[in-house]
Structure 1
Amino acid sequence: MSENQPPSGAKRKRITRRDLVRAAGLTGIAGLAVGGVGGYFGAPRTEAGAAGSGSAGGKIKFGLVAPVTGPFAGDGQEMERGARLAIEDINAQGGVLGREVELVVGDVGDQAPENFIQVAERLVSREKVAAASGGYTTTTSVEFDTYADGGVPLFHTNTLQDNTDYVVKNGITNIFQCCPTEPWYASGFQQLMEGWIESGAWTPSSKTAAVIASNDSYSVSIATVMQEGLKKMGWEITLYEEISVPYADWGPQLSKIRNNPPGLIFVTDYLAGDLASFAKQFASAPTPSLLYQQYGPSVPEYMELAGDAANGVIWSTTIGTLPDDIGERFRKRYLDAFGTEAGLSQSGAQYDIVRLWALAASRAGDPYDSDKVSVAVKDLTFRGVVGTYRFGEEDHTAIPYPDAVNDPSLGMPHLTYQIQDQKQVLISPAPYINGEFKLPSWL
């Protein structure tokens, strides 16, 4: 994390929302967030404040950047539902510093860069939100300057090293990546592979791999790190292809795989529908290959589409709801509220992020003081439904466990699941696991 990042540039000089809108006489109550939300957001000692969006007594707006329509809508709806549950909990406890929080949703649709720019400008300039969060960002970070210059903290789980690098290079202090970046996916899975091979849990049919990526920097980065790692392990890459999402007909790729069956199939396309299609088409004539799919199986839509073909599939997320008491309480709450099961990543992540911000804003004493809120965020070790949030000093990115730290109380768990009997079984890392790796039926 921070020790692996380039040195930070000069701090960006900007006029912040704090300079434009100030609320006086507010003080937060510090506390430790451990799963629940009870009473730690505090209340103001006085009602004094300046006029405007940051004045005391008015609602505090919190922005959500999410694809609630379009091909990524399954994930976007998870984000919105998680954020709404968090705000409901916060307001039930008296709000932030005695003020209610209101969610403002910015739909980025098909995730075209111009959509992110327009949403950022709307949230910062027109809606005047105190902070914003979201599951995705642009790969170029083109919208980051709007949040940095506007003094609006942005929290995201885009899992992209390029986003972290942009924050470090430009000395931005109010943008936080709330999950570890994508290279950890490949390196973490390689460690698991080696462990299964050494223990005899899995004997590869051959030391060969087929790697398939979508043609975006996130997927390509994971695929690249994976190929490099496999080659160091003495493996051969027999197939590498990039596809454009959404992608439904996997016939050409599966034909090549069946003509030269690899020991491992590693797919870094992360769209749930794409991956479900791959699993179903692969299951019709499987090869003696372990099948890994990237992130997409965390979305409930995947299981609905893939059915029994999902059994045996392995997938990972660097941020996901844990199967412990805290995570199970959240899942029950989500089911009761929406009548459907929560996904295993973004619903819990956005639920946590809104509450993390609320605690930091309370400690800062002013939810519209970007600098103070950002300092409070960096000082937090926050335990949410997905695990522990703790940020690198320079890169403002979540630190992964067990990849970078060996203490689960100090890092975000990198979760690896295997689908068994149409159930999501967490097989790594301890102590969060609720099952073990099993050879898929086709092996």
Structure 2
Amino acid sequence: MASRMEPTPMADTWDGREFCVQVSACGAPGPAESGRWASVPAGLRRIAAAALSEGLRYCQFYWRGGGSEPMCAVRIELSTNGGIEIALLAGELASALPYDVSRRELDVLTLLTTGAGNNEIAAILHLSPRTVTTHVDSIMRKLQVRSRTAAATRAVDEGLLGAPISGAEAALGGTRLGRVLSGTSARVSSPRATLRRLHRRPLVIGAALPSSGLGASDAAEMLKGLQLAQAEINGAGGIHGRRVDIEVADLDIDDRASTRKAISALADRGVDVLTSGYVAHQDAAHDEAAATGIPYLHAATSGVMERRVSDDPARYARILQVCPSDIHYAPAFVRFVDRLTRRRLLPRPSSTLVCIQQSSWELIDFGTSQAQVLADQHGWDLEVVNVSGAEGWVPATQRALAYSPTAVFVGSYFLDHHVDVVETVRGAGAGCLLYSIYAPSVPEFRERLGPAAEGVVWATTTGTYSDAVAAGFAARYAAKFGSTPGRSHAGLAYDRTHLIAQAWSRADNARDAAQVARHLRTATHRGVNGAYSFHPVTGVAAGFDDTGGDPSLAQAHVVYQIQGGRQEIIAPRPYTTATFRTPDWITAASGS
């Protein structure tokens, strides 16, 4: 509970105790959220009031009033309280400065942000120009930058700034941040008012996406979802006053070297977070991302990678999988078909089920081993047909139909494969249910098949719901891009971007990769594809199926059916929008 405000006169020293207090525009003390107003130096109250006057939404710096006084790490963030704009002023003990920068180097670095030359800095700090040159060289070496401008930019980005600096008011007056640090009003004139202002560097999301070939249609959906979220975040003021930008790197999702190159290229461009869809060599993406230290959110739905991360959690601590793993697919298929036949909603011409699955990607595991156990328990024979690249999906489907199955599971992420299966089954007049995964989420699936897509059932470990939250997203997407979003990766990319923004907003320093990763791992977020929470070890998004689970903390394993040209959710409750309909080709084959 906030304590009563304490309008007691304050000294310009700090007692070393943490505090978090509210300051009004006139500098008057407001409630103390934590700690006591008696701990707040008077100079910091003036700085907080200056931040309000200048409209500086967020800043951080280090304060030390005297030679023996402890160093205080300070954060100021503007907010509103009862419709009144206030500055939230927080301070805590800083035992050491980042990058092993000394207190004197911190003063020099702060003055570098004003554009001051070595002679000016020397005059302000009562040092010789040679000493200042030595300090500047040391600063660039410690920060691993090659120029004064780069050092100044790093200082602004990471709050590596010092206050107070006696006699520096005129020099600091040329920038908005400088005026805040010196505790002067934005209305105070300054002879340095024409100096170049340093702008806060945008926060950048890197996206490794294919522009052509396999997965290109999915990638277009992912990029649009990302762009829509970016527009919304920037329209609301960004993150602590920073814009969110996007960097895209092209890749061939079937090629290991291309995957590594894309992740590396994004890191070289200085992105703050890495993202990707699915790739054949997800292990290469994991290793490359882990080496950069940049938080990485992927959508590979890989149980194999889930186990790999579990075996080495420290190495992959900054990597998260934003959807449940592929190992749920085949077991969910068996349970779904068994339930339909027991309810007599689906004919059972045989006791055989078939899984056709791609075998070219070593890191895919659709959970067929567990599915075979479930099939045995429910009186089914489950056959698995692996599709090699040379054989193709038409011959594989013909082999599957030779078993006269009740239902066929189509295990592939690619449109071409699913289109081949649908056309082959319909052409053969087979009476089996088609149960696809993921690929029919992309609008191109229905565009290519037309009426032949009617009746196809498909599932995804991450699908866009049909509730008011998702409907709002779809409307905004259509207004921005002139097209309807697919039912999986467009929403997933949108949600992922808002997850990243949430972590950035909660971090004291949005460019502190370790801190951002921790906030991501402990996040809970309700998006258009359901609720997101992550396993503390594997970093995999929680999922639930219709055998149980908590939908408030997980993404549903959503099952859709194309009915009347629309994507209808037929499982699980409470997300359903329709009930299962027997496809016309099954009705024709059974003669009913």
Report the Cα distance in structure 2 between the residues aligned to 1:170 and 1:233, rounded to whole angstroms.
Answer: 37
Deviations 1:340-367 (A, max 9, x none): 1111111110111011111111101222
Residue 542 of structure 2 corresponds to residue 399 of structure 1 = yes
Match of 1:421 among 564, 567, 582: 564
Contact 2:398 2:424 in 1 (8 A): no
Separation (CA, whole Å) in 2 of partners of 1:411 and 1:197: 28
Aligned partners of 1:388 and 1:411 also within 8 Å? yes
Q: Aligned equivalents of 1:343 and 1:144: distance in 2? A: 27
* Residue aligning to 2:331: 187
SS of residue in 2 equivalent to 1:94? coil
Who is 1:279 aligned against? 422
- The yes-or-no answer on 1:319 pairing with 2:462 is yes
Matches of 1:243 and 1:328, distance apart in 2: 39
Counterpart pick for 1:213 among 354, 357, 360: 357
Q: Read off the aligned partner of 1:240 and give its amino acid letter.
A: V
2: CA distance, partners of 1:29 / 1:406 = 40
266, 275, 287: which one aligns with 1:133: 275
Q: How many residues align?
A: 407
SS state at 1:350 partner:
helix
Partner Cα separation in structure 2 for residue 228 and residue 107 of structure 1: 41
**1:387 and 1:71 mapped to 2: Cα distance?**
27
Q: Contact between 2:226 and 2:497, CA under 8 Å: does it hold in 1?
A: yes
The answer for the alignment partner of 2:176 in structure 1 is none
CA change 1:255–1:99 in 2 (3 A) is: closer
Match of 1:144 in 2: 286
Q: Give 1:96's aligned residue.
A: 239
Shift in CA distance, 95/406, structure 1 to aligned 2, threshold 3 Å: same
Contact 2:300 2:321 in 1 (8 A): yes
TM-score normalized with structure 1 length: 0.85
Change (3 A) 1:404 1:109: farther
State the 1:406 CA deviation.
2.4
- The C-alpha deviation readout for 1:168-220, integer Å capped at 9, x for no partner, is 22222110011110111122222222322232222311111232111123555
Cα deviation code 1:40-66 (max 9, x no counterpart): xx99999x8964568431111110121
CA distance in 1, matches of 2:570, 2:487: 14
CA contact (8 A) 1:211 1:266 kept: yes
* Alpha-carbon offset, residue 439 of structure 1: 1.3
For residue 431 of structure 1, report the CA deviation from its aligned partner.
1.1
Is the alpha carbon distance of 1:428 and 1:110 closer, same or farther for their aligned partners in structure 2, counting shifts above 3 Å?
A: same
Aligned position for 2:385: 240
Q: Provide closer, same or farther for how the CA distance between residues 214 and 138 of structure 1 changes in structure 2, counting only shifts above 3 A.
A: closer
Provide the secondary structure at the position in 1 that maps to 2:459. Answer: strand
Q: Describe the shift of the 1:421–1:256 C-alpha distance in structure 2 as closer, same or farther (beyond 3 A).
A: same
How far apart are the structure 2 equivalents of 1:228 and 1:28?
Answer: 56
The residue type paired with residue 343 of structure 1 is: G
Tell me whether 1:436 sits opposite 2:570 in the alignment. Answer: no
Give distance in 2, aligned partners of 1:427 and 1:208: 23
Q: 2:210·2:219 contact (CA, 8 Å) conserved in 1? A: yes
Structure 2 residue aligned with 1:262: 405
Instruction: Determine the structure 2 residue equivalent to 1:17.
Output: none
SS of structure 2 residue aligned to 1:185: helix
Contact 1:213 1:220 survives alignment (8 Å): no
Distance 1:322 1:29 in 2: 35
Residue by residue, what CA displacement relative to the aligned partner does 1:316-351 show, whole Å, maximum 9, x if unpaired? 111111111111111111111111111111111011
CA displacement at 1:113 relative to structure 2: 1.3
Deviation, structure 1 residue 285: 2.7
Higher RCO (CA < 8 A, seq sep 6+): 1
Cα 1:270–1:291 change in 2 (3 A) is same
CA distance in 1 between counterparts of 2:88 and 2:338 reads: 52
SS of the residue 2:516 aligns to = helix
Matches within 5 A, 1:37-116: 51-52=152-153, 55-56=156-157, 57-116=200-259
Distance 1:219 1:140, change over 3 A: closer
How far apart, CA to CA, are the structure 1 residues paired with 2:482 and 2:207? 22
SS at match of 1:211: strand
Structure 1: 5+ residue stretches without partners? 1-21, 31-41
Q: Contact between 2:298 and 2:322, CA under 8 Å: does it hold in 1?
A: yes
What amino acid is the match of 2:213? G
Assess, with a 3 A threshold, how the Cα gap between structure 1 residues 23 and 391 changes in structure 2: closer, same or farther: same
CA contact (8 A) 2:329 2:366 kept: no
Greater CA radius of gyration, 1 or 2? 2
Match of 2:43 in 1: none
- The 1-side partners of 2:342 and 2:156 are apart by 61
Work out whether residues 319 and 345 of structure 1, in 8 Å CA contact, stay in contact via their aligned partners in 2: yes
1:303 pairs with 416, 428, 446, which one? 446
CA change 1:285–1:430 in 2 (3 A) is same
- Name the aligned partner's letter for residue 199 of structure 1: R
TM-score (norm 2): 0.64
- Judge which range, 113-122 or 394-403, deviates more: 394-403
Indicate how the Cα distance of structure 1 residues 256 and 405 shifts in structure 2: closer, same or farther if over 3 A, else same.
closer
Seen in structure 2, the aligned counterparts of structure 1 residues 150 and 259 have a Cα distance that, compared at 3 Å, is closer
Once residues 243 and 98 of structure 1 are traced to their aligned partners in structure 2, the CA distance between those partners, rounded to angstroms, is 51
Report how far residue 134 of structure 1 moved. Answer: 1.6
Instruction: Specify the code of the residue in structure 2 equivalent to 1:213.
Output: Q
**Residue equivalent to 2:492:** 349
For residues 378-423 of structure 1, the C-alpha deviation after alignment (integer angstroms, 9 at most, x for no partner) is 2221001111001111111111123685221111111111111221
The whole-number CA distance in structure 1 between the counterparts of 2:397 and 2:532 is 39
